Amino acid sequence: MKEYYLGLDIGGTKILTGLADGEGNIITRSRRATEADLGEEKIIENMLATIDDVLKKAGATADEVKTLGIASPGPLDSKKGIIIENANLSWKNVPLVEKIESATGIKTLLKNDANAAALGEKWFGSGKNVENMVYITISTGIGGGAIINKKLFSGVNDNACEIGHTVIDPNGPLCGCGNHGCLEAFAAGTSIAKRAREAAAAGKSKEMLELADNIIEDIDAVICAQAAYQGDQVAEDIFKNAGYHLGIGLGNVINTFNTEMIVLGGGVMKASDLFLDEAIKTMEEVALSGPLEMVTVKEAELGSDIGLMGAIAVAMEDRLVIDD
Amino acid sequence: MKEYYLGLDIGGTKILTGLADGEGNIITRSRRATEADLGEEKIIENMLATIDDVLKKAGATADEVKTLGIASPGPLDSKKGIIIENANLSWKNVPLVEKIESATGIKTLLKNDANAAALGEKWFGSGKNVENMVYITISTGIGGGAIINKKLFSGVNDNACEIGHTVIDPNGPLCGCGNHGCLEAFAAGTSIAKRAREAAAAGKSKEMLELADNIIEDIDAVICAQAAYQGDQVAEDIFKNAGYHLGIGLGNVINTFNTEMIVLGGGVMKASDLFLDEAIKTMEEVALSGPLEMVTVKEAELGSDIGLMGAIAVAMEDRLVIDD
């Protein structure tokens, strides 16, 4: 009998599902709209439809699938298989694993997206050859996942590696979590966007205003990056400042986890040339020489597939550890 | 044949060695002066003498000892068994494990003192019933050790959990490591002492000056604590400020490790009533609600035996994990 693994990446706008062989190679894929506004049952129906899709395309059956891994934004409870909340889907305490298992008969595992991405990069991306790494996603927020002795360390209730919410300057800007000066409040995409809008509102950057057709509210991190690439000094400085604070966060991660590798991913990394040099410079100052000499900082390799490959890695983790 | 374990705690002034049975109960003890100023060979001679002492007292032989665990200040390389440096002993790259093994014939394991203490508290102290905990020592410096899935996580080269050197305010005071605003620069004993001397020098605390017989250089954290207990507001504020920053560090540890427990030890904890309330208050603000609700903060239970019990736990770790 064949042995397949399923990965399902559930986002606010799309569901991405892949069927993989025992080596993690994707055989068939399916992508459907999440239709978040149509409610819980419809979303789950769409998830199940993508599973049907990939099985049919491959001529495979559910009982040939060993495990299904789901990567989802949190907060969630991976042990109980429950989505506690999901800002994109207006879900509250949805027993997702139970629902999917009873509909498909396939053993299902759930992890938050940053943790799944960490597993994806460990087994299929930048971290293939290391035993200890921290994955950090710099996106609308900043999240992370730690691999320790080749295995995901999720913490007691899936909150390990929430490094976006470590305070690096108590006099810093207000964070969405209510504290001041979290790493996320300095260096996430929404924080960069906020700084950019403040600068535009203060009349400091015509370039950003023009790129947003004079609508300040439309200025986001992408427009800030565009302005920086066009030479706008204010926009450049906003990214450099984010890089400086990211560097403190990276230094702290090095002094805390002492891993062989840090992998950086997330949408903001598309503009990494605007802030990464500054981040690495600061990181090298903050990190102690002992752990610094052991660590390599790499960009994530899996690109837009990171969610899907992460979900497949969630499904395959036990097997991958044993085979390795 | 009987099965014993040896623990050896090497400090700047004394060597403390204990022989334990298979349950970690100390049967015999020995304590000798380190005689750090007499050089490497003499120190090792003294270590070996304590081992002889405890074996003789118990009527035991070296071949009845399964493993010897050594707890030492770092930096050190636990895999190679080498003390890289030791501020107290002026050692440089001493292959301590090799020397002890060849002299005794006993398999020897080496860990840094904070990591060993974490193991000690996990198996014989506050953390007996938890699988994930972080031990933090607040002493002249601030160090730590993380237990993950019941096992010590040392990092790639023994630098995991160096949370004393995570930056929590880049505009903060200069740290011994060269950075500004490390946790250690705010809340370690030497930092409290420095703040106290600065206050006394600025004429802000007669109380501390009197307690130090008007010699500013003699003001240390103990005198600052004495003054605070006598109602000196400046001294009280110094401890409160240390507590506030410790609270940020604890919140960051919770958001990073998401463990069931944090255990606090080290000499400064003797004055915990001067700063712990403030630390817990700040910690509860900084920590995310998800990991906060899972964590308990406890004081270390092993007292002055923490180094010795840590060393015994280093010797016994594999057995303890299996038996548990």
- pLDDT of B101 reads 98
SS3 B242: helix
Residue with tokens 């096992």: B151
Structure tokens at A103: 């509909």
- pLDDT of B2 reads 84
- pLDDT above 80: residue B316: yes
Measured CA to CA, the distance from residue B191 to residue B6 in angstroms comes to 35
For B244, other C-beta atoms within 10 Å of its C-beta total 18
Q: Considering only CA atoms, which of B66, B152, B168 is closest in space to residue B115? A: B152
**A308-320: b (≥16 Cβ within 10 Å) or e:** bbbbbbbbbbeeb
Contact B261, B118 (CB under 8 A): no
What global pTM score does this model have? 0.96
Alpha carbon A187 to its chain centroid, in Å, reads 15
Burial level of B33, CB count in 10 A (0-12/13-18/19+)?
exposed
Mean pLDDT of B34-55: 95
Contact B125, B263 (CB under 8 A): yes
- pLDDT of B51 reads 98
Alpha carbon A65 to its chain centroid, in Å, reads 26
- pLDDT of B66 reads 97
Number of A/B CB contacts below 8 angstroms equals 130
Measured CA to CA, the distance from residue B196 to residue B204 in angstroms comes to 9
The CATH topology of domain A126-300 is Nucleotidyltransferase; domain 5 (3.30.420)
Q: Which CATH superfamily is domain A4-112+305-323 in?
A: ATPase, nucleotide binding domain (3.30.420.40)
Measured CA to CA, the distance from residue A59 to residue A72 in angstroms comes to 27
Judge whether A294 is closer than 8 Å to chain B, CB to CB.
yes
ipTM, 2 dp: 0.96
Helix axes B276-286 and B233-257, enclosed angle (nearest 10): 40
Contact B5, B315 (CB under 8 A): yes
DSSP sequence for A135-154: EEEESSSEEEEEEETTEEE-
Structure confidence by residue, pLDDT tens digits, B290-312 = 999 999 999 999 999 999 999 99
A204 Cα to chain B: minimum distance (Å): 26
pLDDT in tens, chain A (324 residues): 789 999 999 998 999 999 999 999 999 999 999 998 998 999 999 999 999 999 999 999 999 999 999 999 989 999 999 999 887 788 899 999 999 999 999 999 999 999 999 999 999 999 999 999 999 999 999 999 999 999 999 999 999 999 999 999 999 999 999 999 999 999 999 999 999 999 999 999 999 999 999 999 999 999 999 999 999 999 999 999 999 999 999 999 999 999 999 999 999 999 999 999 999 999 999 999 999 999 999 999 999 999 999 999 999 999 999 888
- pLDDT above 90: residue B322: no
State chain B's mean pLDDT as an integer.
Answer: 96
Burial level of B53, CB count in 10 A (0-12/13-18/19+)?
middle
Q: What is the pLDDT confidence band of residue B86, given thresholds at 50, 70 and 90?
A: confident
For A298, other C-beta atoms within 10 Å of its C-beta total 17
Cβ neighbours of B157 in A, within 8 Å: 258, 290-291, 294
Contacts of A149 (CB under 8 A, 6+ apart): A131, A132, B153
Measured CA to CA, the distance from residue B171 to residue B180 in angstroms comes to 6
Judge whether A158 is closer than 8 Å to chain B, CB to CB.
yes
Measured CA to CA, the distance from residue A91 to residue A287 in angstroms comes to 40
Structure tokens at A107: 């053993």
- pLDDT above 80: residue B87: no
Structure confidence by residue, pLDDT tens digits, B8-38 = 999 989 999 999 999 999 999 999 999 989 9
Contact B218, B226 (CB under 8 A): no
- Phi, psi for residue B211 in degrees, rounded to 5: -60, -25
- pLDDT of B156 reads 96
Q: What is the pLDDT confidence band of residue B42, given thresholds at 50, 70 and 90?
A: very high
Residue with tokens 């964590």: B295
- pLDDT of B286 reads 98
Q: What is the pLDDT confidence band of residue B100, given thresholds at 50, 70 and 90?
A: very high
Residues 202-241 of A with CB under 8 A from B: none
Asked if B179 and A286 come within 8 Å (Cβ–Cβ), the reply is: yes
The CATH topology of domain B4-111 is Nucleotidyltransferase; domain 5 (3.30.420)
- pLDDT of A89 reads 80
Measured CA to CA, the distance from residue B250 to residue B163 in angstroms comes to 9
Measured CA to CA, the distance from residue A97 to residue A164 in angstroms comes to 27
Judge whether A173 is closer than 8 Å to chain B, CB to CB.
no
Q: Considering only CA atoms, which of B186, B185, B219 is closest in space to residue B201? A: B219
Structure confidence by residue, pLDDT tens digits, B146-184 = 999 999 999 999 999 999 999 999 999 999 999 999 999
Asked if A288 and B177 come within 8 Å (Cβ–Cβ), the reply is: yes
End-to-end Cα separation, chain A, in angstroms: 23
What DSSP element (H or E) covers A110?
Answer: strand A108-112
Burial level of A285, CB count in 10 A (0-12/13-18/19+)?
middle
Measured CA to CA, the distance from residue A147 to residue A118 in angstroms comes to 7
Contact A264, A300 (CB under 8 A): yes
Q: Considering only CA atoms, which of A198, A122, A146, A265 is closest in space to residue B153? A: A146
A156 Cα to chain B: minimum distance (Å): 6
* Domain regions of chain B by residue span: 4-111, 126-300
Structure tokens at A182: 């979290």
Q: Which amino acid does the sequence have at B40? A: E
- pLDDT above 90: residue B271: yes
- pLDDT of B225 reads 98
Asked if A167 and B259 come within 8 Å (Cβ–Cβ), the reply is: no
Alpha carbon B135 to its chain centroid, in Å, reads 8
Contact B320, B152 (CB under 8 A): no
Strand partners, B72: B112
What DSSP state is assigned to residue A252?
H
Q: Determine the residue among A83, A250, A286 to mutate to test chain B binding: the one whose Cβ has the most chain B Cβ atoms within 10 Å.
A: A286
- Do the two domains B4-111 and B126-300 of this chain adopt the same fold? yes
DSSP sequence for B115-131: HHHHHHHHHHSTTTT-S
Contact A28, A54 (CB under 8 A): yes
Q: Determine the residue among B129, B253, B257 to mutate to test chain A binding: the one whose Cβ has the most chain A Cβ atoms within 10 Å.
A: B257
